[in-house]
Amino acid sequence: MRRTISVLVENRFGAFDRIATMFSGKGFNIRSISIGETEIADISRMTIVTEGDDQIIDQVVKQLNRLIDTIKVVDLADTYHVERELALISIGLHKGSMEQIKNICDIFRGNIVDITNKSMMIEVTGPPDKIDAAVNVLAPFGIKEMARSGIVALKRGEQLKIQKKENFTT
Amino acid sequence: MKKSDNLMSGAQIFFECLKREKVEHIFGYPGGAVLKLYEHLYDVDFLEHVLVRHEQGAVHAAEGYAKASGKVGVVLVTSGPGATNTVTGIADAYMDSVPIVVFTGQVPSHLIGNDAFQEADIVGITRPITKHNFLVRDVKDLALTIRKAFYIASTGRPGPVLVDLPKNVIASKCEFIYPEDVELRGYKPNYKGHINQIKKVAEVIASAKRPLLYVGGGVIMSGGSRELAILARENKLPVAMTLQGLGAFPGTDDLSLGMLGMHGTYWANRAVDNCDVLVSLGARFDDRVTGNVETFARNAFKIHVDIDPTCIDKNVVVDLPVVGDVKHIIAEIASEMPNQPDTTEWLAQINEWREECPLVYEDNDGRLRTEFVIEKLFEKTKGEAVIVTDVGQHQMWTAQHYKYNHPRSNLTSGGLGTMGFSVPASIGASFAVKDRPIISISGDGGFQMNIQELITAAANKVPVKFIIINNSFLGMVRQWQELFHAEKFSFTDLSSSNPDFVKVGEAFGIPSYSTDNPKEVDSILEKAFSINDRPVLLEFKVVKADMVFPMVPSGGSISDMMVKRLNPRRMT
């Protein structure tokens, strides 16, 4: 089962490697990982998409917490949250394909960010399944290159009553 | 006073910090990147530096020191090969949760990454085998980093911490400010167990018919042996110990079942298999204890007390976890007990198992056996010695036959199973313990893995008794070959290639004795125990093909347990 885990880490030399090393050393999967600044200067947020049953995810969360550089670990599966991903997709142009691609781009509310006679680049943002859908639709036109950012996620401001327990430890 | 008067070099700050951490011994080996530290060390009088002969020896010595004393063991080595030589020791300390701080030299900051002479990315290399590690990039961070290193190593679940010190950081100067408090927002060990959980534990134990305490090294580390003895004795609870847990509860007590697991006693393993409540205290459900996790204590309600949350539900899913300091939690369980469980029948059952299949060995063919040596050693020391074993058959036989009276008396490499641990670790322990005999026991294989440290022992006149159990084989590997690998004794026979151990000992200036005669064991031990101002070496040439039993094969269940019987009685 796919799970998104949000981790606040010290913005410090080696912190990322420590987490990556823990995942590989314990044999946990990483489907995507993204890291960036937060509102606090010396804290970074890592959003890790991993997979496994409840026992494995429980271990992932505990092992993350055990690292000295991690400040807070939240398993977002237990919360209402927003997930977003950004993709840059470069597509080869053929006779008449430009208009079709542009239409698809509009449907996905993407932006054309680069264009030449031979190719155009589209930027699509949204939940990961929307990106998957865009990629599927664009694939027949011939995707030359693609870069996906990995998922970033944040808990919503209001958590409804039906939520499950929060897996929250520091 | 002008500000410049306050400036101290990194090297001065280093030793000032060690002083404030009350470090009395460091185990080390000098080299290019740490020359500045050794320059200052020359005039330092508050600590004793023990010069080892290989950096791996330094780490094991620090582990032995830490395990025997409960204090943090400290290592100082140079960059590159000095640092990489510590890796096995660090991994060993990580697996067995031993509090040590390893200081490694590093090439100057501006050369890091340039493949400079004696450069190794030791912080990168040791990341998965340290509790935490640091590269000090600025002398201003040095004092705080050392403070953090000792704090992290010694608190929570203890473990090794490495601090990498670039040459220029040690040489540069800054104002010395000693941080009194350490604040790590990502590290807040939880000592206090949840009281409701603890009350539940007490209730479950009180209503148990066949309760069993499964005790690990955590009880010793937390200093909870007294509390354990009270809990066990007041409630008549039998105690089975892991390899690292031996010594947590007196081995001579009627409630002690000795060791459980792969080479545990028959009765301890039968007790695990039949108990209705299993209380794990500071243990981690290691595969050498559980065998097949599906059948391990299959009928038991499982309680798990540990300071490390990652240990809970890692190998075995438990019914009732309590996270916190084992010592305090044991005391609280004892005080929350609503009544004592009636364990009379259960203890009688365990005693039946005890008689059904005792630990036996042949003793009437005139040939020397390890079990006999260990029994003699126990008689001689009455369970008061600090025993430092290596890895293999002798380790298991010692665990079975030596009955430890005290915690911190059984020092051994459990998790990593590092051959070559005993010789240096016993030397380290001898700097921590002065009032009890220190006995190192190794096989002929492991003894040769850190044999160079004999000179460290001799030069420092440490009164360690080095015992070699020589069966001319890598005995445990041989045992597996015989049982599981078609008796192909592939590269385990050392009989034609072992050195003359007595000559080896003498070459190091150590009085050395050897025997293969059971009748001479007493007199040779007598000789060894009369020498207390320097090391002594004893070689016991034992029979070659003996195997350690009982044995639960790797991943097996208690029903797969192989036992040794001298009388042709059948297991029912």
Contact B187, B211 (CB under 8 A): no
Buried b (16+ CB within 10 A) or exposed e, A124-150: bbbebebbeebbeebeebeeeebebbb
Q: What residues pair up with A107 in beta bridges, in sequence order?
A: none
Chain-chain contact of B131 with A69 (C-beta, under 8 angstroms): no
Residue A55, judged by CB atoms within 10 A of its CB (0-12, 13-18, 19+), counts as: exposed
Task: Tell me what pLDDT residue A13 has.
Answer: 84
Could you say which of A9, A17, A70 has the minimum Cβ distance to residue B127? A17
Contact B94, B60 (CB under 8 A): no
Of B211, B271, B265, which Cα lies nearest the Cα of B243? Answer: B265
Q: Which residue positions in chain B have pLDDT lower than 70?
A: 1-5, 566-572
Per-residue tokens: B12: 């001065």
Report the side by side order of strands in the sheet with B25-28.
B48-51, B25-28, B73-77, B100-106, B160-166, B132-135
**In chain A, positions 38-77, which contact chain B (CB-CB < 8 Å)?**
55, 58-59, 62-63, 65-71
Q: Are strands A81-92 and A32-37 parallel, antiparallel or unpaired?
A: unpaired
Task: Tell me what pLDDT residue B569 has.
Answer: 43
Chain A residue at shortest CA distance from B123: A14
Task: Tell me what pLDDT residue A78 has.
Answer: 82
Q: Is B308 on the interface with A (CB under 8 A)?
A: yes
Q: What are phi and psi of A93, to 5 degrees?
A: -100, 135
Chain-chain contact of B131 with A65 (C-beta, under 8 angstroms): no
**In chain B, positions 185-204, which contact chain A (CB-CB < 8 Å)?**
185-188
Cβ neighbours of residue B278 closer than 8 Å, sequence gap 6 or more: B211, B212, B214, B272, B297, B300, B301, B302, B303
In angstroms, the CA A89 to CA A134 distance is: 9
CA angle at residue B158 from A20 to B437, to 5 degrees? 140
Residue with tokens 């039946």: B352
In angstroms, the CA B537 to CA A147 distance is: 66
Could you say which of A13, A62, A68 has the minimum Cβ distance to residue B310? A62
Residue with tokens 């045992």: B479
Could you say which of A18, A65, A66 has the minimum Cβ distance to residue B127? A18
Q: What residues pair up with B323 in beta bridges, in sequence order?
A: B306
Contact B411, B67 (CB under 8 A): yes
Is B327 an annotated catalytic residue?
A: no
Task: Tell me what pLDDT residue B97 has.
Answer: 98
Of B294, B550, B503, which Cα lies nearest the Cα of B513? Answer: B503
Chain A residue at shortest CA distance from B310: A62
Per-residue tokens: B84: 């990489």
Contact A51, A29 (CB under 8 A): yes
The interaxial angle of helices B521-530 and B370-381, nearest 10 deg, is 40
Per-residue tokens: B100: 């040590």
Q: What are phi and psi of B505, to 5 degrees?
A: -60, -45
CA angle at residue B520 from B518 to B522, to 5 degrees? 95
Distance from CA of A40 to the nearest CA of B (A): 14
Residue with tokens 């939690």: B329
Chain-chain contact of B137 with A21 (C-beta, under 8 angstroms): no
In angstroms, the CA B73 to CA B62 distance is: 4
Is B134 an annotated catalytic residue?
A: no
Contact B242, B415 (CB under 8 A): no
Chain-chain contact of A62 with B312 (C-beta, under 8 angstroms): yes
What is the SS3 assignment for B106? strand
Is B199 an annotated catalytic residue?
A: no
Average pLDDT of the residues of chain A: 91
Which residues of chain B make contact with A15, given a CB cutoff of 8 A? Answer: none
In angstroms, the CA B277 to CA B303 distance is: 8
Q: Please provide the distance, in angstroms rounded to a whole number, between the alpha carbons at the two ends of chain A.
A: 24
Is B396 an annotated catalytic residue?
A: no
Chain-chain contact of A21 with B132 (C-beta, under 8 angstroms): no
CA angle at residue A167 from A165 to A168, to 5 degrees? 120
In angstroms, the CA B510 to CA B231 distance is: 45
Ordered DSSP codes for B47-98 = SEEEE-SSHHHHHHHHHHHHHHHSSPEEEEE-STHHHHTTHHHHHHHHHTT-
In angstroms, the CA B311 to CA B462 distance is: 38
H runs (alpha helix) in B76-171: 81-84, 87-95, 122-126, 142-154, 167-171
Give whole-number Cα distances, B62 to B69, B85, B190, in Å. 10, 14, 26
pLDDT tens string B59-101: 999 999 999 999 999 999 999 999 999 999 999 999 999 999 9
Chain-chain contact of B309 with A17 (C-beta, under 8 angstroms): no
Ordered DSSP codes for B14-50 = HHHHHHHTT--EEEE---GGGHHHHHHHTT--SSEEE
Give whole-number Cα distances, B527 to A65, B376, B426, B514, in Å. 54, 14, 20, 11
Q: What is the CA radius of gyration of chain A?
A: 19
ipTM: 0.89
Could you say which of A59, A69, A170 has the minimum Cβ distance to residue B314? A59
Q: How many CB atoms lie within 10 A of CB B348?
A: 9
In angstroms, the CA A31 to CA A5 distance is: 11
Chain-chain contact of A13 with B137 (C-beta, under 8 angstroms): yes
In angstroms, the CA A151 to CA A125 distance is: 10
Is B118 an annotated catalytic residue?
A: yes
Q: How many CB atoms lie within 10 A of CB B188?
A: 12
Contact B439, B377 (CB under 8 A): yes
Contact B549, B536 (CB under 8 A): no
What is the SS3 assignment for B546? coil
In angstroms, the CA B174 to CA B3 distance is: 10
Query: Which helix (DSSP H) or strand (DSSP E) does residue B139 occupy?
Result: none
Residue with tokens 């946990």: A28
In angstroms, the CA B239 to CA B250 distance is: 10
Residue with tokens 């987490």: A19
Which residues of chain B make contact with A59, given a CB cutoff of 8 A? Answer: 310, 313-314
Which residues of chain B make contact with A62, given a CB cutoff of 8 A? Answer: 309-310, 312
Counted residue by residue, chain B has a size of 572
Of B422, B480, B482, which Cα lies nearest the Cα of B451? Answer: B422
What is the SS3 assignment for B508? coil
Q: How many Cα atoms within 13 Å fall on the side-chain side of residue B287? A: 7
In angstroms, the CA B406 to CA B416 distance is: 24
The percentage of residues in chain B with a pLDDT greater than 90, rounded to a whole number, is 95
In angstroms, the CA B145 to CA B108 distance is: 18
The single-letter code of the amino acid at B542 is V
Give whole-number Cα distances, B164 to B121, B122, B135, B257, B520, in Å. 9, 8, 5, 44, 50
Task: Tell me what pLDDT residue B37 has.
Answer: 98
Tell me the mean pLDDT in the region A88-104.
94
Per-residue tokens: B540: 């016991």
